[in-house]
């Protein structure tokens, strides 16, 4: 999983400024063996009604496209 983490972390860093522009942020929590990436949305994102949409349509699609080993992204 360290291999995937090395690929995922720079993508998270690319996504982060978009979330920070709206007062939020994202933290990588863990990557499971099945390719599930667990993240924590913080700041304005943590209570936002659109956070699930942002997670699935934004973060998940970008990560899956850039890192084929990623199967899904979940918020914790």
Which domain, by its residues, includes 23? 2-75
Q: Is the pLDDT of residue 47 over 90?
A: no
- The pLDDT confidence band at residue 20, using thresholds 50, 70 and 90, is very high
Instruction: Indicate which CATH number applies to the domain containing 52.
Output: 3.30.300.130
Which residue(s) pair with 26 in the sheet? 41
pLDDT above 70 for 1 = no
Collect all residues with Cβ–Cβ distance below 8 Å to 4 and sequence separation of at least 6. Answer: 31, 35, 67, 69, 70
Instruction: State how far the Cα of 45 lies from the Cα of 2, in Å rounded to an integer.
Output: 27
pTM of this prediction exceeds 0.75: yes
Total number of domains in the chain = 1
For residue 16, pLDDT beyond 90: yes
């Amino acid at each position: 999983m360290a291999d995937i983490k090395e690929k995922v972390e720079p993508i998270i860093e690319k996504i982060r400024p978009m979330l920070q522009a709206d007062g939020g942020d994202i933290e990588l929590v863990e990557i499971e063996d099945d390719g599930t990436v667990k993240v924590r949305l913080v700041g304005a994102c943590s209570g936002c009604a659109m956070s699930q949409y942002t997670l699935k349509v934004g973060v998940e699609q970008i990560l899956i496209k850039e890192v084929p080993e990623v199967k899904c992204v979940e918020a914790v």
